Structure 1
Amino acid sequence: MKFLLKRLFGATIAIVGALTLVFIALRAAPGDPADNILGDEAPETAKVEFRKRLHLDQPLHVQYGLFWSNVANGTLGISYEVSDQRKPVSELIGNVLPATIELALAAMLVALIIALPFGVTAAIHQRKLWDNVSMIIALLGVAMPVFWLGPMLLYLLTVRYPILPDPGAPLNGILPLIMPALVLGAALSAKLTRMVRASVLDVLREDFTTTARAKGLSEFKVITKHVLRNALIPVITVMGLQLAALFSGAIVTEKVFARPGIGTLLLDAIVKRDYAVIQGCVLVVTVGYVLVNLVVDLAYAVADPRVRKQS
């Protein structure tokens, strides 16, 4: 219980700290939401009314209190976007969040499909051609940013070699998900491949692996029954942390592929300086990141009691 309370306290501090920094940074940055949303040509009276309606003319401590009040009531505030029906930020995020979660899970699946066979094979053939090739590819994958890899794969797989349909075409089912999941998953698989390789190499050096081989088990059974079972424990921990990081990676990927999601919503809000939507998106992403890390910490503590004792 003490371990859980300590982790919950740390998670709360992280969330409040991140949101406070974003709140301050938005107000300190040059520019005015009234100018961005109403336009420079709008009369000054309209801008004054706009700021008054959204409490932007209030002191910072009042705006800060209103922000947490909106968090407490679940609306996360009202979007600054001018329309006949201005929607709560929570509703806007709720409409696009499932698409981002879908993309993150699909990307994780792609990463596992690539990383497990590449990492295991590289470890088995350590310092041989396959190992060297796999590690070079993994290093390139880590070095290539998503905003560059996305357009390159888009060109190669839809224009140069039209294997996949154009993501801009009207498609149904999982087809619109394939390309962004490939890009995000490929970037993640580079890190996981190196982790799988290192973990498998550690287990291959253990005494129980040598004993299993001495009993006459085939190499396939040694790898699948003894090595993988133990090697995947640290990999699963890293996967949990990377799943949380996928939400931030999805922000760029969604924009590159014009895919609706929390990333597209956040970037559009930044352009318009829609403070309420920016703060709401950051809140959801931060809470998601912290919660996944918390679950990973708790799961690791259950699997290894030494972690609880050290904490």
Structure 2
Amino acid sequence: MRDALLAADDLLPEDRMPPPWLGRRVGPEGSTVYIRDTPATTADAEPAFYVHGLGGSSQNWTDLAGLLAGRLDGEAIDLPGFGNSDPGDRYTIASFADRVIGHLDQSGRGPVHLLGNSLGGAIAVRVAGRRPDLVRTLTLISPAMPFLDPRRSLQGRMLPLLAIPRAERLMARRLAQIPPEEMARQVIEACVADTSRIGEQRRLETIEEIRIRGTAAHYASAYLGTLRGIVSEFVRAYLPGDRSLWRTAARITAPTLVIGGRQDRLVDVRVAPQVAGVIPDSRLLMLDGVGHVAQMEVPRTVARAVLALLDEHRDPVGA
């Protein structure tokens, strides 16, 4: 593990607030996932794939993907059960990784620069460990890798709900009682250290996404099912066997950038350094005054770190 580098800021385009990129549905009827495309602005851009966290969507990557469009031709997925995707049959990290691998195989875009945040980071670890042929570089932002103390996460307060029969109904009823504007405020405050960094357009998009989510009958089941899957993965990580996420991380061969926010309220702040210590070819960037979604809170800083990683491993001319 070594310290991450930052590329020069003037290599990035000027600050702007792009709208969410257009998307399309991929897969069989009843089991489609929604993919947003961030069009590259140069002919030699390399393929990238973005994976969001629990309760998020492909919109979480809009700003970062826009900043990197000069180097990366991006796709961002709405995981099954989230965003505009259909519900899934199972909500485990392994099943989400299978869906990402299936899409990359079918699209023929691999190997890609793979980026994941939170739950998406854990999924990306599973993909990179299982299919190194699909991953050029790996970027993990506040990856939800296993840790043992639930008190170090705001999600810990949700754990008792998992033991209640028909908890999905209780959650759906509770969510229906909270106005989208209030829910958006709570979500942003949980994920972001300095909420002034989230512009009005992004706030309005969050409110609209929450409003649409409230009409999806499957959302509560998808959220709680995924939380159960995460808890199961956390327990398994400390048991013998090759399915441990930590053992998977140790097998990753892709050059890896790990980014953590020191004010992260959802993933134990000690996790990012631990992840970087386990993955053989890793760089670590810890950000003061930043929360759980650094790609949304400080997208230029994250983009500079990604560019530095890309510059280390730029494909030779004519390769």
Higher strand share: 2
Q: Which has the higher helix share?
A: 1
Q: TM-score, normalised by structure 1?
A: 0.25
What is the TM-score of this pair, normalised by structure 2? Answer: 0.24
Structure with max Cα Rg:
1
Choose between structure 1 and 2 for higher RCO, CA contacts under 8 A separated by at least 6 residues. Answer: 1
